[in-house]
Amino acid sequence: MKSVRPIILAHGGAGSRAVTPPQAACLRAALQVGYHLLARGSSALIAVEHTIRVLERSGLFNAGKGSRLQLDGVQRMDASIMEGDSLRAGAVASIEGIIHPITAARLVMEETDHVLLVGPMAGKFAHHFKVERHRLVGKPLRFSYETALQKIAQNREKHGTVGAVALDRTGTVAAGASTGGIDRMLPGRVGDTPIIGCGVYADNETGAVSMTGLGESIMRLAVAKEICDRLTKGNTPATAARLVLKKLVARIDGSAGCLVLTPQGQFTIRHSTPHMMAGYWAGCGTPVIKDSFR
């Protein structure tokens, strides 16, 4: 079997904010971790998980330690991961009290027959497998739906997820994403990230996609799967991403960014937002990190 040249892509969210120097340095470090695993023969799945773990632990992005609080003052997180060989996938939603939701998602995939676990029971599952805990400083806030709905009606910055896609030496692709949601979330709100086919998708017959942006719009078009379907029809990654993001904006005024990678090593990073913190590395030179890909 011919060996494939591995590659890793990662993102830290799409929106109106430019990448900061600490965020760029963290993305660079995450790509280095992921690529070195691939270079040593690790699977795309493991590379994606450990790339995202670097971003979750940093506290610099809206994932893991840096996750936004929901309107009751509680940090709830979502994550998913998928590999393209056997189409295995795992996800968690509204999970609390851990640093690495992406690892909890992988454990759902590998240790159960399920795809998605949610809420307090997802947390108990993670604790059973000793996923590192994180105790948020502070206390839950007094919550009322009247006040919450007023806050939601205000303009807000739409914070994205972190995510990664990878191609390993065997030609297998994988995708993952992890998020703390958006500003001013109702307790229990879940976006696209843990929904397979919306926030992530991976299939060795098409490619791997990791999304970021406004989850409500991404879910309504099942964007990750639609991009993969267009790859099946012969679209290049750049064309598939451009057409689906254009549709997202035209049909429902959505906003998003994506990483797209094929089993042949073709890739693109595209976004409909002003900025997208992202980068890639195939082992030559240094990782490429930018906050705009046009």
Domains parsed from the chain with CATH numbers: 7-290 (3.60.20.30)
Strand (E) or helix (H) holding 9: strand 7-15
Indicate if the pLDDT at residue 145 is higher than 90: no
What's the rounded mean pLDDT across residues 188-206?
97
What's the rounded mean pLDDT across residues 115-125?
97
Q: What is the pLDDT of residue 233?
A: 96
Q: Which residue has the higher pLDDT, 145 or 8?
A: 8
- Go through 189-208 and write b for each residue having 16 or more CB atoms within 10 A of its CB, e for each that does not: bbbbbbbbbbbbbbbbebbb
HSE-CB of 34 using CA atoms within 13 angstroms = 37
This prediction has a pTM of: 0.93
Indicate if the pLDDT at residue 164 is higher than 80: yes
Indicate if the pLDDT at residue 278 is higher than 60: yes
The 3-class secondary structure across 103-166, one letter per residue, is HHHHHHHHHCCCCEEEHHHHHHHHHHCCCCECCCCCCCCCCCHHHHHHHHCCCCCCCCCEEEEE
Task: Please provide residue 12's backbone torsions phi and psi, each rounded to the nearest 5 degrees.
Answer: -120, 20
What's the rounded mean pLDDT across residues 195-217?
97
User: How many residues make up the chain in this entry?
Assistant: 294
What one-letter code names the amino acid at 191?
G
Burial of 29 from C-beta contacts in 10 A (0-12 / 13-18 / 19+): middle
What's the rounded mean pLDDT across residues 224-238?
97
Q: What is the pLDDT of residue 4?
A: 87
Cβ 208 vs Cβ 202: under 8 Å: yes
Task: Work out the pLDDT band at 155, boundaries 50, 70, 90.
Answer: very low
Q: Which residue has the higher pLDDT, 16 or 200?
A: 200
Q: Which residue has the higher pLDDT, 109 or 137?
A: 109
What's the rounded mean pLDDT across residues 23-31?
97
Q: What is the pLDDT of residue 294?
A: 73
Q: Which residue has the higher pLDDT, 167 or 161?
A: 167
Catalytic site positions: 161
Indicate if the pLDDT at residue 153 is higher than 60: no
Task: Work out the pLDDT band at 158, boundaries 50, 70, 90.
Answer: very low
Indicate if the pLDDT at residue 289 is higher than 80: yes
Indicate if the pLDDT at residue 10 is higher than 50: yes
What's the rounded mean pLDDT across residues 159-174?
92
* Range in 135-139, 251-255, 278-282 with the lowest mean pLDDT: 135-139
Q: What is the pLDDT of residue 150?
A: 61
Q: What is the pLDDT of residue 3?
A: 77
Q: What is the mean pLDDT of the chain?
A: 92
What's the rounded mean pLDDT across residues 71-95?
96
